[in-house]
Amino acid sequence: MKKKKFIIFAFILAFAGCKDYLDIQPKDKLIPGGVEDFRLLLDDQWTMTLTPGIADIMADDLFLTEDQYGDVPQDYFQRSYTWSRDLFTADEDIRDWSAPYTIIFYANTILEGLAANPTGLQEARNQVQGEADFYRAYAYFNLLNTFAKQYNAATADKDLGVPLRLSSDVTAPVTRNSVKEVYTRILTDVNDAIKLLPVKAPFKTRPSRAAAHALAARIYLQMGDYDRAMEQATAGISLQNTLLDYRTVDPNNSPFDAVFPVTVVSNPEVIFISSTTGMYAKNYSISSDMHKLYNVHDLRASLFFREIPDQGNYQYIGSYNDGGSTNVPSPFSGFTVAELYLIRAECYARKNETGKAMDDLNALLVNRFEEGSFQPATAGSPKVALRIILQERRKELIFRNLRLMDLKRLNADPEYAITLTRTLNDETFTLPPGDNRYVFPIPAKEITATHLEQNPR
C-alpha cells in the first residue's frame, strides 16, 4: 500500500506544478504501474468530478443585485455576468479550461497504462478503463460546450472545437480539432464506457453504466439527435428510475445554510456526482420574476430557494451537493433520474408523441408538489408540450451548468431563440441569440503558450 501511495503521490507531483495540461513540460514520463494505482487516481474526486461553472454566471437564471455583483470573487465572473467581449485577462488562470484538461491527462495516462501492463483481473480492468473513458468523454463534452460553437451538422466539420489530446505526451503539437472530430471522440469514449462499466457503482462519485447512459443522453440531446437521446435516456431509466419524493423532505433537516436537506449520497435519484468550479452555491440567486415561475404549491420553490429580505431576489439553496464541514457546497452538475425523464419527455414531444411526453413529465412533477395539490400537466399539441417541458427543465435543473447549453441549442430555432437582458448600475446589457459571446474565449495564457486560434468575440 505504501508503494502504491508513493507512485500516485509522485504522479501528482509531476503534474501539479504545471499550469495546465497543454502547457506541461515534465522531465520524465511517469505512468503508474497497475490497476490498483489507476484506481487511486480515479478516486481523486476533487480532480475527476469537477466540471466548468462559468456558464451559470452567464446564463439568464442568475440574478445579482449591485452589492452581490461587487462580491463576486473573480473579475472574469463579473465580466461574464455582463457578457463582456474582453473576458479574460492575460494573467488569469481559468479553471473551466484547466480542470477538464487535468481530467483528460489522468484518463490518458490510465488508458496508456492499461495497454502497457495487461495484468490484473479483467473485471477490475474493465471498470477502470470504462471510468477513464467516461471521464474523458465528460471532460471533452464540457470543454466543447464552453469553448466552441453549438453543434451544427452542416458546419461541425469546419467549426473550431478544442484540442484533442489522446495521449499523455505533453510535447505533442497542439491544434484545435473541429467540433465534429471532438464529438466523434466523445461518442466513441462514452459508448466504450457503456460496454465496460458495471451496472451499479459502489459510490456515486464513480461512474456506473446508468451514468454513462445519462451522459450519452445529454450529449445526443445537445447534438439534436433526439432518437438516440431517447434511447439513451430510456436505457438509463431502465437501470435507475427512483425519483425523490419532495413531499418526504423536511426543509429544516439541512445541517448548513445553503444545501439541500437530503444528502447527495442518500438521494435516490442521484446517478453520479460532479460539481462545478467557481462560485459556491450560496453565491447564486434568482429574481422574484424567476421565482414566480414556480407554482405556489411547487415544493421546489422553498427547497431550492429562500427569500433575501429587502433585496427582491432569492438565494439558491438547492444544490444536491453537501457542504460538508466547510458549509460551502459547490453547485451540483451531475446526473439524476429527473434529468433523464426530462430528456425523454422532450424527445417524445419533438417526435409528436404528446401523450408519452406528458406522462414522463408528470411522473417527475408528482414528486415535486405538495400533498393533494398536484394537477397533471396537459398539452393539446406537441408544440405546447415542448414549451411546458422546456420550462420545467429550466426549473428542475437550475444551476447545473446546463442552462447555457440549452440556450445555445434552442437559439438555433427562431421559435425558441431569446435575447438576454440585464441591468446593472443603470446600464443595460444584452446578449442576442447566436452572438459570438456565447462561446467563451480560450484563456490568454493558452493562446500565448500554444498559438491556438482564438474564438471571435
Higher pLDDT, residue 30 or 104: 104
Is the confidence at residue 169, as pLDDT, over 80? yes
Higher per-residue confidence, 71 vs 234: 234
**Model confidence pLDDT, tens digit, residues 435-457:** 999 999 999 999 999 999 999 99
Q: Which three cell numbers stand for residue 330?
A: 459547490
Q: Which of 143-157, 160-174, 394-408 has the lowest mean pLDDT?
A: 160-174
Among 19-33, 63-77, 385-399, name the one with the lowest average pLDDT. 19-33
Average pLDDT over residues 323-350: 88
* Domains of the chain, residue spans: 2-197+419-450, 240-400
Q: What is the pLDDT of residues 241-261, one digit of tens each?
A: 999 999 999 988 775 666 789
**Residue 427 pLDDT > 50:** yes
Q: What is the CA radius of gyration of the chain?
A: 22
As a whole number, the mean pLDDT across the chain is: 91
Q: What is the rounded average pLDDT of the residues 151-166? A: 98
* Gap between the Cα atoms of 401 and 390, Å rounded: 16
Of 24-33, 58-67, 287-296, 410-419, the poorest mean pLDDT is in 24-33
- Residues 410-434 have a mean pLDDT of 96
365-371 long-range contacts, Cβ below 8 Å, gap at least 24? 365/392, 367/243, 367/244, 367/245, 367/246, 367/247, 368/246, 368/298, 368/299, 368/300, 368/396, 369/246, 369/247, 369/295, 369/297, 369/298, 369/299, 370/247, 370/297, 370/299, 371/247
**Secondary structure (3-state) at 230:** helix
* pTM of this structure: 0.94
Top CATH class of 2-197+419-450 equals mainly alpha
Q: How confident is the model at residue 7 (pLDDT cuts 50, 70, 90)?
A: very low
Asked if residue 106 has pLDDT above 90, the reply is yes
The CA-atom distances, in angstroms, between 55 and each of 77, 256, 404 are: 10, 26, 6
Q: pLDDT band at 276, cuts 50/70/90?
A: very high
Q: If you average pLDDT over residues 6-13, what whole number do you get?
A: 44
Classify burial at 231, counting beta carbons within 10 Å of its beta carbon; exposed 0-12, middle 13-18, buried 19 or more: middle
Return the C-alpha torsion angle 57, 59, 62, 66, nearest 10: 60
390-405 residue pLDDT tens: 999 999 999 999 999 9
The pLDDT score that the predictor gives to residue 311 is: 87
Confidence at residue 173, expressed as pLDDT on a 0 to 100 scale: 86
171 — pLDDT class (breaks 50, 70, 90): confident
